[in-house]
Structure 1
Amino acid sequence: MSRKPSRSRLRRDDEKERRREALIDAAEAVFARHGFEAAKMEDVARRARVSRALVYVYFKNKAELQFAVCRRALRVLRERLSAAADGEKRGYDKIVAIGRAYMAFASEFPLYFAALSRFEAHQPDRIDAGSSERAVLEAGVAVHEVTIAALTAGARDGTIARIDKPMLVALTLWGYTHGAIQIAQTKAAFLEEVGLSADEFLAHAIRFGLQGLRPAKGAKP
């Protein structure tokens, strides 16, 4: 029979978790000010008002801090997408809401979107089980599961065509939406030059990207 942890142990664990979260808060501020490349561990320590050695107790390097920011970003994103999907009844409308929520997330949390974009751009030789990087991937899967649930609901209520590989569709929708957001962010001047606003471009991207989800005319749910 296992023994319950003592109160002192629980307090120590709570304190460690608070310190870890405070370091991630500091890292976010430093990354936002200096950028991911230029930021240094001593900058994080200075921002958190702790020793550089203490930062290394919790995070072995800057990459580990970046992964921690990514995990936090994905938790926030999952909450936003879930709330958006829950606000709609039909599966297709849930997918539309998810796309809009992702775009709103990128606008509201530019650092999180940049961190996730940076994570997706790097290509490691391997990702070990139990690693911080693996934890980010698992958190990403949890986000995609929100889309998969909406796709499944749509197939069930007849607003979305039957899907054999929902993860494939979820990843495709994510890649399409993520890319559209990046274009809106980085090519705003060009869009304006050709007579388009970023908002108009993104709204069209959602409508255009979801056309393939509609069931064929006459198809049964």
Structure 2
Amino acid sequence: MRSRNSDEKLERREAILDAAEEAFIQQRFDKTSMNSIAQSAGLSRALLYVYFRDKEDIHLGLCARAADSLHQRMSHYTEKCTSGFSAMAAIGEAYLDFYYNERDYFRIITLASGLGNVKHDTVKEMTPSQQAYIAAEKRIMALMASCVQRGIEDKSVDTNVITDPMKTAMYMRGSLHGLIMLQDAGGSSLFDSEGMDRKTWLIQCKALISRAMAPHKN
């Protein structure tokens, strides 16, 4: 049973993350200062450092939130799938749904790849934010890999090409995330100059990824 003091610390930590989330969305990460986060949270700047190492550490706390939300969507989309292939296709649906409905969280996760924060080798050296984010990312990849493994076992995917569940899950994740980034607001201007509908293009790309993993008929 947690103590009242522990609950208060957790509530304060969550309040800081709430304030940071709003600030990052409104002002962008690079323009948000620890002072502005402290003011929004109603705390002193010094107290922020009791809970978080720096601004990047706060960002990783938000990444953990975003990754948890993505994992929940993936779990929901895949729970009733009847084959590994259909579960893998559902992962793509969940990823697009996450982007369209939680676009700020998608961008928060995207920014994490460029910060170089999660680089410690031992849990002992990590901050709570780093630990939470890594744990959430592992849950996402484990779920994706389990869908691939299911497809290999029920032969609903091309087992001549797909043999390693985790490598395939990484291919799926990288492809989906990269394609979404390409057409995002700050992405390629070709979509506008060529008159391409971004949503239709993403649906077509997702279909191509799925088709590449399906068994080939002779």
2:177 counterpart of 1:178: yes
Q: Unaligned 5+ residue runs, structure 2?
A: none
Contact 2:56 2:115 in 1 (8 A): no
> Normalized against structure 1, the TM-score is what?
0.87
Contact 1:188 1:197 in 2 (8 A): no
Choose which of 46, 50, 55 in structure 2 pairs with 1:53. 46
CA displacement, residues 118-142 of structure 1 (integer Å, 9 cap, x when unaligned): 1112346942422143542332121
Q: Once superposed, what is the RMSD of the aligned Cα atoms?
A: 2.0
Choose which of 99, 110, 116 in structure 2 pairs with 1:117. 110
Secondary structure of 2:113's match? helix
| Worse-superposed segment, 205-214 or 59-68 | 205-214
- The residue that corresponds to 1:193 in the other structure is 193
- The residue that corresponds to 2:153 in the other structure is 156
Contact 1:127 1:134 in 2 (8 A): no
Mapping for residues 59-78 of structure 1, pairs under 5 Å: 59-78=52-71
CA distance in 1, matches of 2:118, 2:23: 28
CA distance in 1, matches of 2:187, 2:54: 33
Contact 2:152 2:163 in 1 (8 A): no
- Higher-Rg member (1/2): 1
Contact 1:128 1:134 in 2 (8 A): no
Secondary structure of 1:121's match? coil
Q: Unaligned 5+ residue runs, structure 1?
A: none
CA distance in 1, matches of 2:91, 2:53: 35
Counterpart code for 1:118: L
CA distance in 1, matches of 2:91, 2:24: 27
CA displacement, residues 100-124 of structure 1 (integer Å, 9 cap, x when unaligned): 2111112222221112111112346
> Normalized against structure 2, the TM-score is what?
0.88
Choose which of 77, 94, 104 in structure 1 pairs with 2:87. 94
CA distance in 2, matches of 1:134, 1:50: 24
CA distance in 2, matches of 1:21, 1:134: 16
- The residue that corresponds to 1:215 in the other structure is 215
CA displacement, residues 59-111 of structure 1 (integer Å, 9 cap, x when unaligned): 12101101100111111111111111113222211111111211111222222
| Worse-superposed segment, 178-187 or 135-144 | 135-144
CA distance in 1, matches of 2:87, 2:95: 12
- The residue that corresponds to 1:106 in the other structure is 99
Choose which of 22, 31, 43 in structure 2 pairs with 1:38. 31
